[in-house]
Amino acid sequence: MTVLASLSVPRVPVGEVFAGIVDWLTTNVGSVFDAFGGLVGATVSALATFLATPIIIVLALVFGLLGFFLRGWKIAVAATVIAGGLGYLAAIAGVPPAVVLALTFGVIGFALRGWKFGLFAVVAFGLIDSMGQWKPAMESLALVLVASAITVVLAVPIGIAAGRSDAVSRAVKPVLDFMQTMPAFVYLIPAISLFSVGVVPGVVATVVFSMAPGVRLTELGIRQVDREVVEAGEAFGAPPMKILGRIQIPLALPTIMAGVNQIIMLALSMVVIAGMVGAGGLGSSVYTAISTVDVAGGFEAGLAVVVLAVYLDRLTASLTNRSAVVRAAAASDR
């Protein structure tokens, strides 16, 4: 017994090895991380600045794109001109940028979902401004959008590869499990040592955290595509890329979009955590409120997060409903 009791598992320096890897990365390929960090940081801050004080021409172009997406180029031109004109008038009249943007969000909501959602958007974003949370909210929105964009760019191709190959799927699965279950705070530590304090570690931690559902749902979507339809593509001699582009992705799109939706939602949930490493935005507001036990301030910042979440969620859902497959399925009910 005494011999057994004295036995113990020898210490394996797991943590030290990981720290060593991070150190090695910092010293040897630090410039790569610096460049990446600089790019991401600049993008987020540019987007945040734009969302706080919009440039009329860019705003007009956003409406133009929306019009093109919904109704083609004629409406696109009309939307660009009208939005530009109205924006110019608003600027002359001295309408605050927050109001202009709240109305913008309202119009986007109206165009994609209908007047109720448009009205909700105007009221909800107006509320954010009246709570004095506009600037941090827009900083957080910028962070979420950039992080989500990076995640989608990474997750969707990986998901497609995993959906088409069992080997890739088997290799990716444990990595995703690891990324999803490792507490999100833990990502912040190496992210800080690689990118220093600021927005970038926040973005990086968000990307890692929200990657898994994006990959998983994309893979699921590709695998769910009717085997016979893919076979039809092969039987008529379509090359693999055409089968992917014209059969698999269009048919998997609703599920892929559900993945994008999840990415955005998870990114939003990381906003507060990112605030701890100096990413600014609503996270900082919440963090400050915690340290000063400011119930009112904390609630207001939290409510702003909820508004952003609801708005983005409904918006991505309506984009999903506009995909050709969903519309085709709806057509049969008519």
- In the complex, which residues of this chain contact another protein (CB under 8 A)? 226, 228-229, 231-239, 242, 246-247, 250-251, 323-325, 327-329, 331-332, 334
d(CA 305, CA 224): 33
Q: How far is the CB of 314 from another protein (least distance, A)?
A: 23
Q: How far is the CB of 253 from another protein (least distance, A)?
A: 9
CA atoms within 13 A on the CB side of 4: 1
Q: How far is the CB of 76 from another protein (least distance, A)?
A: 23
* Closer residue to another protein (CB): 29 or 329: 329
* Closer residue to another protein (CB): 201 or 221: 221
* Closer residue to another protein (CB): 175 or 329: 329
Q: Which among 35, 325, 10, 4 is positioned nearest to 194, based on CA atoms?
A: 35
* Closer residue to another protein (CB): 58 or 324: 324
* Closer residue to another protein (CB): 154 or 326: 326
* Closer residue to another protein (CB): 100 or 326: 326
CB atoms within 10 A of CB 194: 20
Q: How far is the CB of 231 from another protein (least distance, A)?
A: 6
* Closer residue to another protein (CB): 71 or 322: 322
* Closer residue to another protein (CB): 14 or 228: 228
Q: How far is the CB of 155 from another protein (least distance, A)?
A: 23
Q: How far is the CB of 238 from another protein (least distance, A)?
A: 5
